[in-house]
Amino acid sequence: MTETHEPRPAVPVPASPTLEPPTCSVQDLQKRYGGVHALRGVSVDFHAGQVHAILGENGAGKSTLMKILAGAESPDGGTVALNGAPITMSSVRSANDHGISIVFQELSLFPDLDVLANLFVRREIRRMGVVDRKAMRRKALPVVSELGLDVDLDAPVSTLPLHQRQLLEIAKALLVEVRVLILDEPTSSLSSTEADRLLEVIRRLKARQVAILFVSHRLEEVEAIADMVTVLRNGSWVRTVAAHETSMAELVADMIGTRPSELPDIVDVTNDRGDLTLKVRDLTVPGVLEGIDLDAHEGEILGLTGLEDSGVQELFHTIFGLIKPSAGTITMGDGSPGPRTPADAVRKGFALVPADRRHDGLMLQDSILTNVVSVTAGVTRKYGRLLPRGRMKADAKAGAAELRVKYHDLDQPVGGLSGGNQQKVVLGKWLQTAPRVVLLDDPTRGVDLGAKLEIYGVIRQLAKSGCTVLFSSSELEEYRHLCRHVMVLRRGRVRTVLSGSDIDQHTLLHSMNT
């Protein structure tokens, strides 16, 4: 890519007269989920022997497009064609039959089955009606070897580390007679060495005339591997361009656009920094974090951001005592030791709102009441051994009212609430502990605008009351509205710290990728 900074016009790339007809194409693809228009008339061609990168922010429509091409979703309008002939796919299996294979970002392996069984799940080789593991092994070994996946094919998948499971998903896809290979964030859980190996495999597949669709947030990977790039924004096609004819700066501008913010301008983002609350020095977790230094103060909302392998989530977990570092120190502002375990973290005034509320933040089958008082009753022992229901209910009711949780009865299962109200229950659970340091990992993920604005108000109020807030979000726009300082992490290291007017989507995205 050439390095220029003026965005090019969003116009299609003229087809080369020598270019073969597309292996796969989509025309005027439409998809709605309720009132959300996920795809708005997207048309793109994908050619054999090319890596075609699909870029866009969260919510741009990338995953919806990939799922339709993979047979996991059906479009509401438009067509998918192979070699010019329209096709209909009712499942991932039917897409496989057409030679289209996908590696989803979220793994779909069966942990209790062994590696070989996972490679051929639902398409086992049989002889006389019996599964022929020897034939499966003969077919699997070259693919596994090509990926550099050194595993025992008879070992349960549950014994494999995450990066090997990711490579196993890719091996599954390659065992299909593939004409179109879709890779959705394939390097998100790989080390740099493993990611480089995968990129080399992609180059070999390209030489075999496979059409490869490559979705990645890592723009340097796009720069290294892509022949063509298509940018989506808000479900719409923005631009398709040859990779060598654009730059990282232009692609970032295409992804972000000039849409007006849906968030109000915030003047009093945070109070001035107060006393030092949390001090992190040379924090190291092998393969995850390396030499992290961090100072956080009373009344501050300190942003932390990076790509999926940046280490932000692991930093939160380490500070909270969920991960034990191999080196470095975490101390409180007064010099006393930081948390050693999650229970110790709670007792020292720490709260952690996790990114995945449904799995890590809530007990979905339990009542709102049980969820709200779970930490104060279980860890801080606020209610003693008798657990007086009346007092707990009064506290939960007051907390729910403060956060404007919409519910019918405190005894109803929390899983029946909307996403925004579920997130408020998670926040309410931690506010019951009167925290001093609050770790917020993507706290507005998957909630509507109204709930977002209410959660922003809670975050600002925490800071105004003197709490220290460490904040991470998958929506870069939120940092400008909440933080005066943002620390950008890249592969476990601090890349830079942005302040004031430097905190904008373009600068953040560029810093995360360079």
In a domain, 6, yes or no: no
Helices 133-146, 162-174: inter-axial angle, 10-degree rounding:
110
Do residue 387 and residue 455 come from a single domain?
yes
Q: Which residue has the tokens 């299962």?
A: 413
Question: What is the pLDDT, as a whole number, of residue 448?
Answer: 67
pLDDT of residue 500: 86
Task: Look at strands 276-285 and 85-87 and give their pairing.
Answer: unpaired
Residues 310 and 220 in one domain: no
Give the integer Cα–Cα distance in Å for 181 and 170. 10
Kindly state whether residues 236 and 152 are assigned to the same domain.
yes
- Pick out the chain residues at pLDDT < 70: 1-19, 58, 105-107, 188-192, 258-272, 448-449
First to last CA, the chain: 14
How many CB atoms are located within 10 Å of the residue 146 CB?
15
Assess whether 220 and 294 both reside in one domain.
no
Does any domain span residue 5? no
Return the pLDDT at 167.
83
Q: Do the domain assignments include residue 132?
A: yes
Query: Is residue 344 one of the residues assigned to a domain?
Result: yes
pLDDT digits (tens, 9 = 90+) for 315-371: 999 999 999 999 999 999 999 999 999 999 999 999 999 888 878 888 888 888 888
Both 48 and 88 in a single domain?
yes
Number of domains in the chain: 2
Q: Give yes or no: residues 189 and 324 share one domain.
A: no
Query: Would you state the pLDDT for residue 258?
Result: 59
Pairs from 490-496 (Cβ < 8 Å, separation ≥ 24): 490/306, 490/307, 490/310, 491/192, 491/309, 491/310, 491/311, 492/285, 492/287, 492/288, 492/289, 492/290, 492/292, 492/309, 492/310, 492/311, 492/314, 493/290, 493/291, 493/292, 493/311, 494/292, 494/293, 495/306
CB 425 within 8 A of CB 372: yes
Q: Is the same domain home to 46 and 194?
A: yes
Please report whether residue 127 resides in a domain. yes
Is there a single domain that holds both residue 507 and residue 375? yes
The answer to the question of residue 159 being in a domain is: yes
Same domain flag for 243 and 360? no
Q: For residue 13, which of 49, 51, 48, 43 has the smallest C-alpha distance?
A: 43
Instruction: State the Cα–Cα distance between residues 369 and 367, nearest whole angstrom.
Output: 5
- Domain of 56, CATH number, reads 3.40.50.300
Same domain, 250 and 352: no
Residue 353, φ and ψ in degrees, nearest 5 = -95, 110
Neighbours of 435 (CB within 10 A): 21
- Give every CB contact of residue 472 below 8 A, 6+ residues apart in sequence: 303, 304, 305, 312, 313, 316, 355, 440, 441, 442
Q: How many helices (H) and strands (E) does the chain have?
A: 17, 21
Judge if 451 and 504 occupy the same domain.
yes
Task: Return d(Cα 51, Cα 226) in angstroms, integer.
Answer: 5
With respect to residue 263, please indicate whether it lies within any of the assigned structural domains: no
**337 phi/psi in degrees, rounded to 5:** -65, 145
Instruction: For residue 258, report the phi and psi dihedrals to the nearest 5 degrees.
Output: -125, 30
Reported as type and span, the H/E element at residue 64 is: helix 62-69
Q: Do both 307 and 446 map to the same domain? A: yes
Please report the pLDDT score of residue 250 as a whole number. Answer: 87
Can you give the residue range of the structural domain that contains 209?
24-256
In this structure, is residue 14 part of a structural domain?
Answer: no
